[in-house]
Amino acid sequence: MTSLPHLGVSRLILACLCWLNINAVIAAPKSTAKQCSKLSLLLPSKVSYPASPSYLSSIQSYFWQQSEALTPACIVTPTSTLDVSIIVGTLTVLQLFNPSSALFSVRGGGHGTVVGAANNNGGVTIDMSHMNSTTLSPDKSIAFVGAGARWNNVFAALEPLNLTVSGGRVAGIGTGGFLTGGGISFFSPEYGWACDRIAGMEVVIAGGVVLYVTRQLFPDLFSVLQGGSNNFGIVTRFDLKTFEQGLMSGGVTVYDVSTVTAQLDAFMGFMNPATFDKKATVIQAFVWQAAFGPLITIDMEYALPELNPPALQPFSSIQPQYQSSQRIAPLSELVTELASFQPSGSRGLYANTVLKPTFDGLKAIYDIWNCTIDSISGVDGIVFSIIYQRVPTTLAGNKNSLGLPSDAGSLVLVELSISWNSASDDTLVATTAKNVITAIENYTKAAGLYNKFKYLNYADSFQEPLSGYGASNLAKMKAASKKYDPLGVFQKAAPGGFKLM
């Protein structure tokens, strides 16, 4: 596998930078419109403006309404690393001479919930979706995946060869946000966080410089990109370690809420290290929605073509069940099924916290959820869920930035997931979410079960996932930012999301 420091590209960018530099001084762009026209000049046909078909199709492809509602002055859709380099080089110069005109966002699959993390009002949005190819190294051990690809397409490309990579569990999720935030896959009990399967990344850092980053070549940048989101640059390609994967078993089983005690018992059993099965994953969700009231759904997957394996029987044997789709199927079909449970177009909020599980702890959190329903049940289109899943296993020798202990696989991630229809309910939902998480953390702290880790990709804007990685990881991230982005382009010009400074 090879791909190298693109010296040719860097030289060209330097030339561009000089040209822009002079231009910026002369033209002194003040408005974002000039920022867009500058990009239009350099990349004609790749910059689109409000109301044009390409602008609309990009905006309308965000998963959540709150991201779709933002209106950047222009959207630029690079089709190559050189394009991304020109864009970042241009924005760096603008940031240097006129910081207020350099606002930009980086957008992958557009599934992030945090408002302003992957789109903005009045700036430039860099939509990576055209950089979506998946190819293989000659020996098939590495998949080269574009940072604008969506996981279902990546899986579909590898499936005919009986290969796969660790990626998102729901069709449509993008590789860019998922992998830079960590990434929980169906293979996490065996292979850890999806970002732990990255062999190398092609990244465009401030100034438009293109780097090929690996654990050997740029170790300080490599590890902070595993969890550091968009703080260091724009990843243009992920080189992912493949593994053999044939058909799996999986599906969603829906139960009556009266089964809650049996469900929590089964979950505690599932967390027991003595019966750990690295092929089994479970997503246990307590869901309330206006049309049905409360329900419990268990998503069970098994990474072998084996129906109802012992590790999952404690769940599959619980009755009464309303429906179950457990079957043998390819991964691409299972992620498409999960997408059908989560339609796009509503508003959405995720928040999360982690605990060392006990039956009483899981029950207390369930009770907090249950007691909160009344206060939020009147919200139009409300779906209000508390979801339990195992924190991915920490692999030996793992050096990502998440800062999790070696026994992280014995911890439970509690995800609060809320979707609703109308912006007029945003404040009520945000307040409720904060209260629920605070109440849970008050409980887990008092009970000695609290863990400070928060999963960035499920975090709301009131949370601080980067601090949750621990002081030493946070310090490494700040040092890498100062080293690779001394002007702070990704800190100042790309606001939103979870920033270091």
Ligand X SMILES: Cc1cc2nc3c(=O)[nH]c(=O)nc-3n(C[C@H](O)[C@H](O)[C@H](O)COP(=O)(O)OP(=O)(O)OC[C@H]3O[C@@H](n4cnc5c(N)ncnc54)[C@H](O)[C@@H]3O)c2cc1C
Q: Which residues bind ligand NAG (CB under 6 A)?
A: 129, 132-133, 149, 153, 161-162, 246, 257, 260, 370-371, 435, 438-439, 442
Q: Whole-number minimum distance, CB 370 to ligand NAG, in Å?
A: 4
Q: Contact letters (x/-) for ligand X, 324-353, by CB under 6 A? A: ------------------x-----------
Encoded amino acid at 94, one letter: L
Q: Which of residues 230-249 bind ligand X (CB under 6 A)?
A: 230, 234-235
Which does residue 110 bind out of ligand NAG, ligand X, none, counting CB within 5 to 8 angstroms by kind? ligand X
User: For residue 329, what are the β-bridge partners?
Assistant: 248
User: For residue 385, what are the β-bridge partners?
Assistant: 287, 417
**Using rule CB under 6 A, residue 226 touches ligand X:** no
**Using rule CB under 6 A, residue 250 touches ligand X:** no
Query: Smaller CB distance to ligand NAG: residue 257 or 328?
Result: 257
Q: Whole-number minimum distance, CB 435 to ligand NAG, in Å?
A: 5
The answer to whether 311 touches 280, Cβ cutoff 8 Å, is: yes
- The candidate with the shortest Cα–Cα distance to 72, out of 129, 38, 116, 128, is 116
Residue found by looking up tokens 């729901």 in the block: 170
Q: Whole-number minimum distance, CB 207 to ligand NAG, in Å?
A: 28
Integer Cα distance of 312 and 296 in angstroms: 16
Q: Whole-number minimum distance, CB 352 to ligand X, in Å?
A: 10
Query: Smaller CB distance to ligand X: residue 117 or 311?
Result: 117
User: E strands of 320-374, at which residues?
Assistant: 321-324, 327-329, 347-355
Integer Cα distance of 312 and 282 in angstroms: 8
The answer to whether 433 touches 351, Cβ cutoff 8 Å, is: yes
Integer Cα distance of 58 and 408 in angstroms: 38
When binding is defined by CB under 6 A, the residue of 78, 177, 189, 227 that contacts ligand X is 177
Encoded amino acid at 470, one letter: G
**Using rule CB under 6 A, residue 403 touches ligand X:** no
Q: Whole-number minimum distance, CB 429 to ligand NAG, in Å?
A: 15
Close Cβ partners of 373 (under 8 Å, ≥ 6 residues apart): 288, 294, 384
When binding is defined by CB under 6 A, the residue of 13, 20, 102, 128 that contacts ligand X is 128
Integer Cα distance of 271 and 412 in angstroms: 8
Determine the straight-line distance between the first and last CA of the chain, rounded to whole angstroms.
Answer: 35
Q: Which of residues 371-400 bind ligand X (CB under 6 A)?
A: none
Q: Which residues bind ligand X (CB under 6 A)?
A: 63, 106-112, 117-118, 128, 147, 168-170, 173-174, 176-178, 180-181, 183-184, 229-230, 234-235, 342, 457, 497
